[in-house]
A and B are shown apart, each in its own frame.
Chain A
Amino acid sequence: MRVDELPVLHHVFDSGPDDPVFDTLLLGGPPLIGVIAVVGREPVSVVLVVLYLLAFAGYLPYKWVRNRRQEA
């Protein structure tokens, strides 16, 4: 069975903007919050959260620039 055929995951992959990065961010959110709940405010959890938010905030303009280049 492929990952996108699993019971809950196939809804995630079928919906949304059909983008593996955003799908990963969506699926990675709950485990990351779980990590925070377990380890608390430690350097490792802070770094993970910063990386997550940078990936989200940075990917949007990256995708926009990439689309514009493809259109050009």
Chain B
Amino acid sequence: MNVSYAPVGRDVGRMLQALSGLVRITILVALVWGEYYVLPALLLSALVTFASGRLLTHAFRDASDPGKLHGMMVAAAGWFSVALFGSLPFFLIAWTIALDPMLLDPPALSGRAASTVGAFREPLNAVFESMSGFTGTGLTMTDDESALPRTLQWWRTFIEWVGGVGVIVLTTAILARPGSGSLTLYESEARSEKIHPSIVSTVRTIWWIFLLFTFVSILVLWLAGMPLWGAINHAMTGLATGGFSITDNSIATYESAVIDFALVPVMVLGSIAFPIHYLILQGDLKNLYTDLQTRWVFGFFGLGSALLSAMLYASGTYSSLFDAVRYGLFQFVSAMSCTGFQTAVDATNVALGKWSTQAQLTVTFGMVVGAAAGSTVGGIKLIRLATLVKGIRYRIMDVFVPDTAVRRLDIDDRRLTEEEANRELGEAAIISVLWFVFLAMTTFVLLLVLPESQYTLENVVFEVASAQGNVGLSSGITGPGMPTVGKLFFLFNMWIGRLEIIPVLVLLRALFTRGGLYR
């Protein structure tokens, strides 16, 4: 089958132009903080990104609207390109500091600060950080985030914040292109439900809600005692369920139970689907319990946190019940919302990687499942879990009813016919199986390349689930010293995890077919 790449080229070009705008906004942050030495790096990043985008949109300006196939290819190629070009600020600023040009007068770094920024001189580390940011994963190549220039702290936060809602959603909101093409792209970025009949209105309302919640979250964290710069960054990455931090030990740095508890509702907000937020803002609060996914979000968060806290207390990981609840609640919500903020670290208490095996696997379960589809989270998502659970029950019950019986499968407020039920169950099963296949594949590779006896199997499974679920919690494996093969596989895991696998496989198939590698 011949595939025209023109719509893909044009729409990826548009996404790059939008990305260029993000870099230009970041220039303002550099000016506010007086980090003038980063300006050439940012200007060059913006220019290269914009020129590449402009070249693509101009070359393919007559391309037709994207169909379903193109939509998936645009999503996969677009996210990869955005991660690639989004690495430029990391790479160029790191080299600016290393080369120390006389006129720019960058700071002289030493010790951990030098190695933290210096890690980005490796292009692969810069791309890793960018992909981790845009996909909302939060795994990092930095050693000490507090040593990064403020501009890079902001860039990490900003790309997670934008990536949480979606790069295509951003592009559609800015470059408003009404019609079926925008809807196709919107759906290919792991979103399906619309708030308004018009897709442009829908994405603008999503941004409206996201902005309001961002301001509310910043103020909540500041009131809880976080300094303003920390509150801005952590509110943005918490709401986007991304998890990048500007401190060395993530949220544990603050050593404040009030801040820990204040962040929980921020992460919960990011776990609820935007259409439900819209209805709640309309005064329709009953959606908090009538919507299946939202009900399950609260149910799973509550039960999972209680179970984890009980395990931590019973195993003696924490000697007081309050500590067990504090760390159990925070880490389970952080995991299942796919945020990845960490309060359990050795510097202040007991690191996640040292929790009991059952506690680590409980957190892993949360990371694999994720929260509501249509929110900012990763993972398989609750609606798929619900479809699988109800679908399996439906299949088993098949045996007990006569062949002539007309049966329906009820999921949420939808009543599916036999054909619809088969299709939805099939889709949920395919994505879940693929999810576990890629999880197993990277686990196997990591076990081969990591130094023997340094990490346990549960450490490795935990880290891979974290990367593919776009979570960012770490058992200590990810870092600049990680083997290159491991970094490459994690890049792939983060990419497929954000787009729910299929679009990436479609793009790879199209590329391999064109290259003659697949018939």
Contact = CB atoms under 8 A, between A and B. Distances in A.
B29 interface: no
A62 B201 CA distance: 26
A9 interface: no
B462 to A, nearest CB: 36
B278 A17 contact: yes
Interface string B267-278: 000000000001
Interface of A: 11-12, 14-17, 19, 22, 25-26, 29-30, 32-33, 36-37, 41, 46, 49-50, 52-53, 56, 60-61, 63-64, 66-67
Contacts of A36: 222, 228
Given A26-B215, A53-B223, A60-B281, A37 B228 contact: yes
A61 B285 contact: yes
Contacts, number: 73
A69 B67 CA distance: 46
Given A26-B215, A46-B223, A15 B207 contact: yes
B211 A33 contact: no
B212 A16 contact: yes
Given A12-B208, A22-B281, 17 more contacts: A14-B201, A14-B204, A16-B212, A16-B281, A17-B205, A19-B282, A26-B208, A26-B215, A33-B232, A46-B223, A49-B223, A50-B223, A52-B216, A53-B223, A60-B280, A60-B285, A67-B283
B234 to A, nearest CB: 14
B282 A17 contact: yes
Chain B contact residues: over half helix, strand or loop, or mixed? Answer: helix
Interface in B199-235: 201, 204-205, 207-209, 211-212, 214-216, 218-220, 222-223, 228, 232
Nearest to A52: B219
Contacts of B255: none
A16 B209 contact: yes
B212 A64 contact: no
B215 A30 contact: yes
Interface of A is mostly: helix
Q: Which 4 A-B pairs have the closest CB atoms?
A: A29-B215, A63-B283, A16-B208, A15-B208
B284 interface: yes
Nearest to B207: A15
Nearest to B282: A17
Nearest to B232: A33
A24 B278 CA distance: 16
Contacts of A12: 208
Given A16-B205, A66-B283, A56 B216 contact: yes
B204 A11 contact: yes
Nearest to B215: A29
Contact of B283 (A15, A50, A60): A60
B128 to A, nearest CB: 31
A17 B218 contact: no
15 contacts: A15-B205, A16-B208, A22-B212, A25-B212, A26-B211, A30-B215, A32-B215, A33-B215, A52-B219, A53-B223, A56-B216, A61-B285, A63-B283, A64-B284, A66-B283
Contact of B212 (A11, A29, A41): A29
Given A60-B285, A66-B283, A26 B212 contact: yes
Contacts of A49: 219, 222-223
Contacts of A63: 282-283
B219 A15 contact: no
Contacts of B285: 60-61, 64
B29 to A, nearest CB: 13
